[in-house]
Structure 1
Amino acid sequence: MPGEQESLFAAVDALLEKAGGILPPPGERERLRTAASLTQAQVARALKVRRETVADWEAGRKEPRPPKRAAYIRLLEGLAALYPVPSEEAGTGSVPAVAPAAPEVAAGPLGVAGGPAAGPPAPAAPGAVPAPAATSSRPAAATRSTARTSTARRPAAKKAAAPAVDPRFPNGPLAVLDGDGAAYCIGGVVLDCPATTVPALVEWTLTESGIGAARLHRNGKDADPLIVLTESAAEGFGLPARLEGPEARRSLRLPEDHTVVKQIARATWKLTQRGFGPWARIYRPAQGGQRQCVQLAILSWEALDTRAWGNAAELHPAELARILGVYATRVITPRGSTAVSGLELMTSLRPPTRAVRDNASGTWVSGPNPGALTQPVDPAPPEAPIEHPVAQGWSGGFLDEEAYQWVRDPKLLEDAECLLPWAVGIDINTAFLAAAARLTVGLGEPFHVKAPVFDKKHPGSWFVDLSHIELDPRLPSPFTPSGQRPEGPAWYATPTVAYAVELGADVRPLEAYLRHETGAYLDPWHDRLKDAYVTTMAGLGIPVGKDVGEAVFLAAMEHHKDVDPALACVLSAIKSTIKGGIGKLRERPQGRHYRDGERWPALERPTWRPDIRAAVISKARVNMHRKMLNTAKASGLYPLAVLSDCVVYPSAGPSPLDFLPLTDDGKVLPGTFRLGAAPGLAKLEGVQEMAWAVDLMEQGYNPARHIKGGDAVMDEGE
């Protein structure tokens, strides 16, 4: 009996500790600390929390929870006695040192504040934008304060109309979870996550969080919710701060005997074949057509590659949730690297299957979706990488459709060019994306044709001799990535051969691999990424539209990354998504144990299509050559070097407008390198002295690789 009484008293004491004490408002918390000349780090050490946690308490983004709450209140009450509010401030209506606490809002069964659930929300009126849901078991004031704080750190910008909120996912597509159980969502919403294990986190995400995103196509699937774990959150779940091992970091995984992996298995959850790595997918088999899957991203395991996301992983969780939410809303909920997300976006916008009615039974069954890539197919031998099974024993040559890496022979430089003061580099915005627009590609298996008649409407690979075509040696050849003239018959994608015909060549293919079923598979992918790119550029202060002056555009580009550095991370990720998505179409085998001729996992995807990648790069390269040729015809200027989509010209001034051919009204001549924010238009890449460029050329180096300054390597396809 005494033992039971002590247990009851302890429970009551815990309730009193939770309810007792009143916290002053956030601004007063900071005033009291600074009045005592204490730092946030000192308070954090005393209360055994992180400095960021104290900062969140003072900003009102989060509220302390027992037992830290009572200790924090005790500290503030002591400081309030030592440093009361000055009388002149108190007399002007300022907030007293200790103010009444806001009433706690009861959480309903789904963790949404507001009492018992009353069924799903009513549909919004046509054209209305539903308001975000309230936070889970957290004072409403915390959510409002979070929204204020996140916007106060950046310049005000015009906001586009917000998309309608899916009532199934009121808290958006993702959350960033910190070590104190605060899950930061888009729109400034902060949820309390009570989970202390990874399986509990998965359950909470699927049943209580309201996190997820609707499908991008009616025949597709809803996006799995994404939970991003900060380093402190990962450690709180028993995960190591870093992944270490002999393999490349992207292939590192937790061992199968790790405690967290065992917890997942005991809770009857599963991991994909890739295991528990920087991007871990935890699921149960779908039941009744309902997916049960959560994606985790561990920041300290380099889930956000700095080459794509910049310093995004170092941002405060609220700010990181903002920019990841922008990417998820405009592109797709991240599902791995930007390359993986780029490939997943293709599938999400053109799902391989759709529901069709079976004539015999009258039931709905899964059938192929017209216009999509519906099943894995092997490439033709010349389209395959050399290690592919179909390439074993093949001696007929291979496609070499890659981006430009060309430098003009220094012997072909003219004295007048060398005397110009500047070398100016210009770059095509998202050239691969521009090339994907209205590009007809093959959708099914290839078939072989001997002595075909070339038709530019037939996507495929053509074995043809283009070595007889005479072009100015001051321009790179459009038929090879090296820019050197072909030496005989070779394999080319349809856009390359079509350009040879455009130049007036007599084209007689010896053989070809073509496809019966064709379509503009990449069009939806292009449209969504183009909108995302242009919208994000506009958010960085870059004027868009046909009427924007090119000088105005160049001036805005000089400082666009300073307008909102976090949003600049989104722009970088979008560009990386484009380049990486095209690259994934020809993903090579990974792992030191691979042997040529073996199949590798990527080959089992319908989207493993090296012929489509070749067609995109082919079109991008000939687009670049067409612009260089038109520039030469209009102005007599020839490039010094090309790297992918950056071309360097000699110039009398440091601006592209100093050397590009202009119309009578001062705009760049159509057909050449027009300047602007849209994909396919050009921007300034960098400026160096002409003597610097000539010196590099004479040493055999490519000035386009270093025109930005320093030793930075150009990102191909950007």
Structure 2
Amino acid sequence: MSELFDAVDALIASRSPLPPPAERKRLRQAHGLTLDEVAAALQVRRATVSGWEAGKTEPRPPERDAYARMLKQLAQLYPAVAPVPPEDTAIPETPAVPAAPAPSAAEPAQARTAPTGPAAKPANTALRPVAPAAVPRPAVSTRPTSRRPAAKRAAPASAPAGGADPRFENGPLAVVDVADGQVLAYCVGGLVLDVAAKSLPALVEWTLREGRFGQPKLSGPGKDADPLIVLTGAACEHYGLPVTLTQQERLAGRLPEGHKVIKQLTRANWQLTKRGFGPWARIYRPAQGSERACVQLCIPSWDALDTRHWADAGQLPPADLARLLGTYAARVMTPRGSTAVTGLELMTALHPPTRASEPDATGKRHSEHNPGSLGKDPVDCAPCEAPDGHPLLADLPRFHQRTPAEVLVEEAYDWARPLTDAECLRPHLVGIDVNMAFAAGANGLNVGLGAPTHVKSPVFDPKLPGSWLVDLSHVDLSRVKLAKQWTDLDGELLPSPFTPKGERPQGPAWYATPTVAYAVELGYDVRPVEAYVRHDNGRYLDAWYNRLRDAYLATMADLGVYADMPPAEFLAAMDGYRQRDPQLAIVVSAIKATVKGGIGKLRERPRGEGWKPGQPWRALARPTWRPDIRAAVISRTRINMHRKIVRHAAFTGQYPVAILSDCAVYASDGPSPLDFLPYRDGKPLPGGFKLGLNPGLVKHEGTQSVLWGEGVREQFNAPELNLARYIKDGTVTDQDTGE
């Protein structure tokens, strides 16, 4: 009988009840467990647990019973919370799909399945994997048919599932994949559509006429975002595109003009932008009045999603990729290209160059300049703001090296110094990193909107954006003004705030307004020789900063890190936050890259294009090619860092040993930032470094030993090797040091 009982027990265990795949992941993350921890406990591979959570596979005995036991206990600790609906009102799983417009006689009605069931708020994630195996596969129709996974799940707040605008009811984008010969479009919110298009031109038509993709404009005078279609490798094969580009095509950044798919588009009267058919291709027809006909393509297998910023996003299953990109689109904007391109496009989307005028005498409206924008026409920069090779410098001798008195050099810090004897006796080197440093530098910054005006012997005005030729070599960091009081410092242990390498200026040089204003703040007179100022100015980047800040804070909150945490709690929450949801962590990285890349794009240099020095390049035709704005942001970011360093030194007597952009390294008696950052009654030094999540506050970058720092400097015979570059994980290579 015991054998029969054992057989019955095994049979019961083989059918141990399990929650839906998405709920399995929610419960694990609610308890802060990683995939590796669960896999180790159940003695299976990490990929096996991932498959169970994605619904791709199901556990078998004996692991199934143990897995079910774990999930049951977690469900008791973290029950799904369903909102209480008002009387006689049902709360759908996702926002209700707006009613479609009445079909015309030439357009058959579209069958659409609306989601049902209560919504449950997830614990720490905004991204949910779809279980493709649970999606039924009805026959392909000529109209898009919505399909939901059989296991209902909540749509997290940060995973948009289509807005109230019926034009964009299916969200901003879709990832198109092919499985078993069937073309499917994976949308945000778990929606899956059948795609009947058999060619790329037909896919473009389907997207515009039936897909209902897009995103409402971000500003009143702006334009709605065009739909984004992401093609997987299987979709590329299906539509006659190569899965990967050849070396020659990668260098060119596009397919050759004679490719058969490009010919198909041409025959169908579709056009490509001047960049051609590359990883981010824009396919359009000229606008008819206010009606746009444009689709953006993204091809991850062509390296559209740079792994430096998007990690392995391009390798994700289609549903997961749709959610990841959908979260980014909802919080930043629909991607328009690389994160740098998107960062620049976001500026324009928030401040469109033109707007509709008031009606004239005939009642007609006209396009006019939108106040606060950069306008629709590019403006020339000042000669000192022009990078080498710019047409303004065409008359310079070919190998002329421009001096600081000829060129504006506002760049981020790359400075280091040898440790003092006292610092060598401390055991630790601790790095702190400024959150979203360049975004914080853009916040509230007054920048030029129009062309510069050249002025001789001007009186410096800290409120007037521009570039100033002035001698700051007399500024002595051993004695500076802080809070209107002169303070003595060890100037030899501080970098100069006026140069990226931290060396003291030797004479007149060009500086952006924030740099010169800081010299005045430190208590020194300034007498500019000349300047290029911009009387038409404003806080152009404020809306850009606000949107990216909100995107960053919201995504970090999904990962369990909040803006109002006390210092110790913040450090604990930041420890390992990326492992709580690797996909959300990718969104965080992409948001940060959007900030840095957008600022960098303001002074985009020529990229191939057969360019020769002295000739214009493509980026110069953009109103957003503004090296003066880039210089102002970087100047203010560097000055913000120096101001905190000086206040910290005056209060504690501690000086940084290395600075790289937004990271500063200090010698410390303990391994934590709290071991050297001054806090009194939980409050930081006013004007100094403060631990926290908001842009401009700092987080822990990494800790290494002083012996490590001195060892690598000795190993590479580089007494001033910048340790801030390696403080995160301590890895230094010959390539890093130039050996």
Q: Report if TM-score (shorter chain) is over 0.5.
A: yes
* Residue matched to 1:485: 504
Give the superposed CA RMSD.
3.1
* Residue matched to 1:389: 391
Whole-Å separation in 1 of the counterparts to 2:420 and 2:364: 74
Shift of 1:712: 7.7
Query: Is the partner of 2:247 in helix, strand or coil?
Result: coil
* Residue matched to 1:621: 638
Whole-Å separation in 2 of the counterparts to 1:397 and 1:214: 45
Task: Deviation per CA, 1:266-314: give whole Å up to 9, x if none.
Answer: 0000000000000010000001210000000011101100001111111
1:552 is the counterpart of 2:551: no
Asked if the contact 2:144–2:194 (Cα under 8 Å) also holds between the matched residues in 1, the reply is no
* Residue matched to 2:274: 273
Shift of 1:593: 2.5
Shift of 1:694: 2.7
In the superposition, relative to structure 1, how do residues 164 and 177 fare at CA in structure 2: closer, same or farther (>3 Å)? closer
* Residue matched to 1:95: none
Whole-Å separation in 2 of the counterparts to 1:640 and 1:621: 16
Whole-Å separation in 2 of the counterparts to 1:544 and 1:473: 36
Shift of 1:630: 0.6
* Residue matched to 2:291: 290
Shift of 1:161: 9.9
In the superposition, relative to structure 1, how do residues 175 and 344 fare at CA in structure 2: closer, same or farther (>3 Å)? same
Shift of 1:166: 1.5
Query: Is the partner of 1:463 in helix, strand or coil?
Result: strand
Shift of 1:414: 2.5
Query: Is the partner of 1:608 in helix, strand or coil?
Result: coil
Aligned partner letter, 1:400: V
Task: Deviation per CA, 1:201-239: give whole Å up to 9, x if none.
Answer: 000000011111111111011100000001111111111
Shift of 1:391: 2.4
Task: Deviation per CA, 1:508-533: give whole Å up to 9, x if none.
Answer: 00000001211000011001001001
Asked if the contact 1:219–1:355 (Cα under 8 Å) also holds between the matched residues in 2, the reply is yes
Asked if the contact 2:145–2:194 (Cα under 8 Å) also holds between the matched residues in 1, the reply is no
Asked if the contact 1:245–1:252 (Cα under 8 Å) also holds between the matched residues in 2, the reply is no
Shift of 1:390: 1.1
* Residue matched to 1:89: none
Shift of 1:315: 1.0
The 10-residue stretch of structure 1 (701-710 or 295-304) with the greater mean CA deviation from structure 2: 701-710
1:677 is the counterpart of 2:693: yes
* Residue matched to 2:494: 475
Query: Is the partner of 1:354 in helix, strand or coil?
Result: strand
Shift of 1:415: 1.8
Aligned partner letter, 1:683: K
In the superposition, relative to structure 1, how do residues 420 and 233 fare at CA in structure 2: closer, same or farther (>3 Å)? same
In the superposition, relative to structure 1, how do residues 333 and 428 fare at CA in structure 2: closer, same or farther (>3 Å)? same
Give the alignment of 1:185-334 within 5 angstroms.
Answer: 185-246=187-248, 249=251, 251-334=252-335
Whole-Å separation in 2 of the counterparts to 1:657 and 1:217: 42
Give the alignment of 1:50-69 within 5 angstroms.
Answer: 59=55
Asked if the contact 2:245–2:302 (Cα under 8 Å) also holds between the matched residues in 1, the reply is yes
In the superposition, relative to structure 1, how do residues 60 and 211 fare at CA in structure 2: closer, same or farther (>3 Å)? farther
Shift of 1:145: 3.0
Whole-Å separation in 2 of the counterparts to 1:518 and 1:443: 5
Aligned partner letter, 2:329: A
Shift of 1:140: 8.6
Task: Deviation per CA, 1:342-390: give whole Å up to 9, x if none.
Answer: 0000000000000113635441111110000002001000011011111
Shift of 1:566: 0.4
Give the alignment of 1:58-97 within 5 angstroms.
Answer: 59=55
* Residue matched to 2:176: 177
* Residue matched to 1:14: none
Query: Is the partner of 1:145 in helix, strand or coil?
Result: coil
Whole-Å separation in 2 of the counterparts to 1:556 and 1:404: 28
1:532 is the counterpart of 2:551: yes
* Residue matched to 2:487: none
Give the alignment of 1:635-646 within 5 angstroms.
Answer: 635-646=652-663
Aligned partner letter, 1:309: W
Shift of 1:108: 10
Whole-Å separation in 2 of the counterparts to 1:651 and 1:60: 49
Q: Out of 461, 466, 475, which is 1:460 matched to? A: 466
Query: Is the partner of 2:357 in helix, strand or coil?
Result: strand
Asked if the contact 1:437–1:522 (Cα under 8 Å) also holds between the matched residues in 2, the reply is yes
Asked if the contact 1:110–1:207 (Cα under 8 Å) also holds between the matched residues in 2, the reply is no
Pairs aligned (count): 590
Whole-Å separation in 2 of the counterparts to 1:320 and 1:710: 32
Query: Is the partner of 1:435 in helix, strand or coil?
Result: helix
Whole-Å separation in 1 of the counterparts to 2:590 and 2:406: 35
The alignment-based identity, stated in percent, is: 59
* Residue matched to 1:709: 729
Task: Deviation per CA, 1:327-356: give whole Å up to 9, x if none.
Answer: 000001001000000000000000000011
Whole-Å separation in 2 of the counterparts to 1:530 and 1:688: 30
Aligned partner letter, 1:574: I
1:687 is the counterpart of 2:686: no
Whole-Å separation in 2 of the counterparts to 1:118 and 1:302: 36
Q: Out of 490, 496, 510, which is 2:529 matched to? A: 510
* Residue matched to 1:427: 433
In the superposition, relative to structure 1, how do residues 658 and 360 fare at CA in structure 2: closer, same or farther (>3 Å)? same
Asked if the contact 1:478–1:621 (Cα under 8 Å) also holds between the matched residues in 2, the reply is yes
Asked if the contact 2:161–2:189 (Cα under 8 Å) also holds between the matched residues in 1, the reply is no
Query: Is the partner of 2:150 in helix, strand or coil?
Result: helix
In the superposition, relative to structure 1, how do residues 110 and 534 fare at CA in structure 2: closer, same or farther (>3 Å)? farther
In the superposition, relative to structure 1, how do residues 424 and 539 fare at CA in structure 2: closer, same or farther (>3 Å)? same
Q: Out of 579, 593, 596, which is 2:613 matched to? A: 596
The runs of 5 or more residues in structure 2 that have no matched partner are 1-17, 22-50, 58-99, 115-135, 397-401, 478-490
Aligned partner letter, 2:208: L
In the superposition, relative to structure 1, how do residues 376 and 178 fare at CA in structure 2: closer, same or farther (>3 Å)? same
1:400 is the counterpart of 2:409: yes
Whole-Å separation in 2 of the counterparts to 1:378 and 1:319: 44
* Residue matched to 1:631: 648
* Residue matched to 1:652: 669
Whole-Å separation in 2 of the counterparts to 1:534 and 1:200: 40
Whole-Å separation in 2 of the counterparts to 1:359 and 1:116: 42
TM-score by length of 1: 0.78
1:442 is the counterpart of 2:442: no
* Residue matched to 2:77: none
1:143 is the counterpart of 2:148: yes
Asked if the contact 1:242–1:300 (Cα under 8 Å) also holds between the matched residues in 2, the reply is yes
Asked if the contact 1:382–1:391 (Cα under 8 Å) also holds between the matched residues in 2, the reply is no
Aligned partner letter, 1:508: R
Asked if the contact 2:704–2:730 (Cα under 8 Å) also holds between the matched residues in 1, the reply is no
Aligned partner letter, 1:390: L
In the superposition, relative to structure 1, how do residues 672 and 379 fare at CA in structure 2: closer, same or farther (>3 Å)? same
Whole-Å separation in 1 of the counterparts to 2:146 and 2:334: 28
Task: Deviation per CA, 1:513-562: give whole Å up to 9, x if none.
Answer: 001211000011001001001001101110222xx210000001012101
Query: Is the partner of 2:651 in helix, strand or coil?
Result: helix
Asked if the contact 2:160–2:326 (Cα under 8 Å) also holds between the matched residues in 1, the reply is no
In the superposition, relative to structure 1, how do residues 141 and 276 fare at CA in structure 2: closer, same or farther (>3 Å)? closer
Shift of 1:241: 1.3
Give the alignment of 1:574-613 within 5 angstroms.
Answer: 574-591=591-608, 593-613=610-630
In the superposition, relative to structure 1, how do residues 592 and 294 fare at CA in structure 2: closer, same or farther (>3 Å)? closer
Whole-Å separation in 1 of the counterparts to 2:712 and 2:678: 26
Asked if the contact 1:146–1:188 (Cα under 8 Å) also holds between the matched residues in 2, the reply is no
In the superposition, relative to structure 1, how do residues 461 and 381 fare at CA in structure 2: closer, same or farther (>3 Å)? same
Q: Out of 668, 693, 714, which is 2:684 matched to? A: 668
Whole-Å separation in 2 of the counterparts to 1:144 and 1:115: 26
Aligned partner letter, 1:116: A
Whole-Å separation in 2 of the counterparts to 1:557 and 1:234: 39
Asked if the contact 1:340–1:581 (Cα under 8 Å) also holds between the matched residues in 2, the reply is yes
* Residue matched to 1:522: 541
Asked if the contact 2:409–2:511 (Cα under 8 Å) also holds between the matched residues in 1, the reply is yes
Give the alignment of 1:560-579 within 5 angstroms.
Answer: 560-579=577-596
The runs of 5 or more residues in structure 1 that have no matched partner are 1-26, 31-54, 62-106, 122-133, 152-156
Whole-Å separation in 2 of the counterparts to 1:166 and 1:158: 17
Query: Is the partner of 1:499 in helix, strand or coil?
Result: helix
